[in-house]
Amino acid sequence: MTKKLYIKTYGCQMNVYDSERMADVLAPLGYGLSDSPDDADMVILNTCHIREKAAEKVYSDLGRLKPHQQKKAEDGSRMIIAVAGCVAQAEGDEIMARAPQVDMVFGPQTYHRLPEMVSKAKRAVGEKILDTDFPAEDKFDHLPEERVRKGEVTSFLTIQEGCDKFCTFCVVPYTRGSEFSRPATTVLQEARRLVADGVREITLLGQNVNAYHGEGAEGREWGLARLCRELAEIDGLERIRYTTSHPRDVDDALIAAHGDLPKLMPYLHLPVQSGSDRILEAMNRKHTADDYRRIVDRLRTARPDLALTSDFIVGYPGESDQDFADTLKLVTDIGYAGAFFFKYSERPGTPAASLREQVDDAVKSERLSALQQLLESQQEAFNASVVGKTMPILLEKPGKHENQLVGRSPYLQPVHLDIPENRHASMIGTVIDCKISSLSGHSLFAVPIDDAESGTDSATRHNTARPNPSEPSSGQERISA
Ligand code: 5AD
Ligand code: SF4
C-alpha cells in the first residue's frame, strides 16, 4: 500500500460496514488504511443524516481538515477529500457549495464506482465529482470479494438496505432508498469467507433487517429466519446477531428461530420509539404499544433468556405529558437491558417536519432525562443480575492490562479475564464458559470454568437472567427501524 486512506465513520453500524467495503474497493488502487488524517492522500467522511446534530458535525470536521489539506499541498502533494454516506445523498449540492475543498461527494449506493471517481478526481485539481445514484443491487454485485481485515473475531455483514416503512420522522427511506435484500446465496458466500478468515460472530445488518426477503438457493424467497438457520450450519461460526429490526416484521418463523437456534444470540434490538398509541399512529409505526408487548412476550416464551434493547424518541410533535407517561409505562413493563434515546429532531423533507405542534426544547430535555434515568437503572440492574452466573464468552482481543483478555457475553457486555499472554493467541476466537465474578461500571470480570467441570458445549445456553445488554450508548448510532 503506497497511499494513505483515512475514513471517518459517523452514524450506524451500516456505515461501519460501508467504510470497510470502501477500504476493500480502494485497496487494489494502493490505498492502505491510516488512523489519522495527517498526511493522508485521501480522506473520506462517511456521514449520517439521521438527526440534525449528526449532519452538522460533518461541516465542522470539514473545516478541521483544511490545514491538513493545505499542508499536503505545500508539500507538493494532494489530499483528496470525499464526503460519502447519507448527508452526501441528501445534501450533495449544498456540500459542494458550502465546502469548496471537497473533491468528491457520493451516496451510499455508489461505492463500487469509487475507482472511476478517484481516477476522475485525480485527473485535474478542481474536478468535482457528485454521484448520488440508486439502487443498492448494483453496488453489492460489484464489490470485491477480497476483504481487507485486521484479524477481528466479529464482523458486520449487510444483508438488506433501505426502507419502505416511511416513519414520519425518518430520513432513511429518502437517503438509503427503498427496501432491497441481497440474495441469500451471496450473503452465505460472504459469511463463509469471513469465517474462513477467523470471524466467529456475524451481525447481520439492515435498516429493516427482519424485512429481509432475499432470493434463496432454489430461487425461492427466504426470510431472515431461514437465512439465520442456514448461517447456523456454517462450521466455525459461533454467534449470529441481527440489527435493526421492526416490530411489524417479527414473524412466527423468526420467533421460532430464536427458540431453536443456540447460535442466534438472545439479545435483540427491537425499537419501539414510543409507548403511546396516539404517537405511534402519528409516527406511522402501524402497531400499538400492546402489539409490541405481545411480540416481546412471544419472543421471551420462545427464548426465556432474551434481553431487549430499543430506541426511543421523546418530544415527537404533539407528544403530551400523558403520551410520555405511556412511554415510561412501556419501559417499566418491558424491562430493557439497554436503550438509545433521542430528542425528536426535525429532518427536512420528512412529514413530521411540517407539523405545527413542535414540542418545546426544554420539555424535550426534561423528558429525555426522565427516560434516561429509568433506562439506565434498568441497564444497571441487568448488568448486576449476571454477576455469579455462568455465561459463554467469545474471546476477542487482549485487554488494556498485561495478561488480560477481553471477550463479550451473549449480551455484548465486555468481559475481562486474567489469562497469561502466552495463551492469548490460541484462545482468541474461542467461546469459553466463564463464571462472572464482578461488575465495575459496564465491565464484567470473569473466571473461566474448566470444560470438564462445566460439561457444556460452547453454544449451550447458560444464562437465564433477564436480558441485560451493556454499552448501548457506545457513541455509535443505531440503524433506524
Ligand atoms: N429525530 C430523533 N430521532 C430519530 N431517529 C430517527 N429519526 C429521528 C429523528 N428525526 C432515531 C430513531 C431510530 C434511531 C436510529 O434514530 O429512534 O430508531
Ligand atoms: Fe424505516 Fe426505521 Fe426509518 Fe422507520 S425509523 S422509516 S422503519 S429506517
Instruction: Give yes or no for a contact between 330 and 292, defined as CB atoms under 8 angstroms apart.
Output: yes
- 234 alpha carbon – ligand 1 mean position (Å): 35
**String of b and e for 413-452 (b: at least 16 CB within 10 Å)?**
bbbbbebeeeebeeebbebbbbebeebeebbbbbebbeee
Gyration radius of the chain over CA positions: 23
Kindly give the number of the ligand 2 atom that is closest to the alpha carbon of 480: 2
What is the average per-residue pLDDT within 320-340? 98
Please determine, for residue 471, whether its predicted confidence score (pLDDT) is greater than 90: no
- 207 alpha carbon – ligand 2 mean position (Å): 7
Q: How confident is the model at residue 481 (pLDDT cuts 50, 70, 90)?
A: low
- Residue 147 has a pLDDT of 81
Give the model confidence (pLDDT) of 262-300 as tens digits.
Answer: 999 999 999 999 999 999 999 999 999 999 999 999 999
Please determine, for residue 472, whether its predicted confidence score (pLDDT) is greater than 60: no
Q: How confident is the model at residue 73 (pLDDT cuts 50, 70, 90)?
A: very high
Query: Is 167 annotated for ligand binding?
Result: yes
- 341 alpha carbon – ligand 1 mean position (Å): 8
SS3 letters across the chain:
CCEEEEEEECCCHHHHHHHHHHHHHHHHHCEEECCCCCCCCEEEEEECCCCHHHHHHHHHHHHHHHHHHHHHHHCCCCCEEEEEHHHHHHHHHHHHHHCCCCCEEECCCCHHHHHHHHHHHHHCCCCCEEECCCCHHHHHHHCCCCCCCCCCCEEEEECEECCCCCCCCCCHHHHCCCCEECCHHHHHHHHHHHHHCCCCEEEEECCCHHHCCEECCCCCEECHHHHHHHHHCCCCCCEEEEECCCHHHCCHHHHHHHHHCCCECCEEECCCECCCHHHHHHCCCCCCHHHHHHHHHHHHHHCCCCEEEEEEEECCCCCCHHHHHHHHHHHHHHCCCEEEEEECCCCCCCHHHHCCCCCCHHHHHHHHHHHHHHHHHHHHHHHHHCCCCEEEEEEEEECCCCCEEEEECCCCCEEEEECCHHHHHHHCCCEEEEEEEEEECCEEEEEECCHHHHCCCCCCCCCCCCCCCCCCCCCCCCCCC
- Residue 456 has a pLDDT of 41
Instruction: Give yes or no for a contact between 289 and 326, defined as CB atoms under 8 angstroms apart.
Output: yes
Q: How confident is the model at residue 480 (pLDDT cuts 50, 70, 90)?
A: low
What is the average per-residue pLDDT within 225-238? 98
Mean pLDDT of the chain, nearest integer: 91
Q: How confident is the model at residue 45 (pLDDT cuts 50, 70, 90)?
A: very high
- Residue 127 has a pLDDT of 82
Which range, 21-35, 143-157, 458-472, has the best average confidence (pLDDT)?
21-35
Please determine, for residue 469, whether its predicted confidence score (pLDDT) is greater than 50: no
The fraction of the chain above a pLDDT of 70, given in percent, is 93
- Residue 102 has a pLDDT of 95
What is the average per-residue pLDDT within 79-103? 94
- Residue 231 has a pLDDT of 98
- Distance separating alpha carbons of residues 74 and 320, to the nearest angstrom: 57
Angle 80-84-85 (CA atoms, 0-180°, nearest 5)? 170
- Measured from the alpha carbon of residue 163, the closest ligand is 2
Query: Is 12 annotated for ligand binding?
Result: yes
- Residue 126 has a pLDDT of 77
Please determine, for residue 467, whether its predicted confidence score (pLDDT) is greater than 70: no
Q: Report CA dihedral (133, 139, 141, 147) to the nearest 10 degrees.
A: 160
What is the average per-residue pLDDT within 177-183? 93
Q: How confident is the model at residue 82 (pLDDT cuts 50, 70, 90)?
A: very high
Task: Delineate the domains of the chain, giving CATH numbers in brackets.
Answer: 3-131 (3.40.50.12160), 139-384 (3.80.30.20), 387-464 (2.40.50.140)
- Distance separating alpha carbons of residues 275 and 117, to the nearest angstrom: 46
Q: Mention every residue, 6+ apart, whose C-beta is less than 8 A from residue 370.
A: 324, 328
Give the model confidence (pLDDT) of 243-263 as tens digits.
Answer: 999 999 999 999 999 999 999
The three three-digit cell numbers of residue 105, written as one number: 461527494
Give the model confidence (pLDDT) of 392-431 as tens digits.
Answer: 999 999 999 999 999 999 999 999 999 999 999 999 999 9
- Residue 479 has a pLDDT of 59
- Distance separating alpha carbons of residues 298 and 198, to the nearest angstrom: 34
- 51 alpha carbon – ligand 1 mean position (Å): 7
- Residue 134 has a pLDDT of 76
347 in ligand 1 pocket by Cβ < 6 Å? yes
Q: Residue 471 phi/psi, 5° resolution?
A: 50, 30
The fraction of the chain above a pLDDT of 90, given in percent, is 84
Task: Give, using CA atoms, the residue closest to atom 9 of ligand 1.
Answer: 345
Mutate which of 170, 174, 243, 312 for ligand 2? The one with the most ligand atoms within 8 Å of its CB, which is: 170
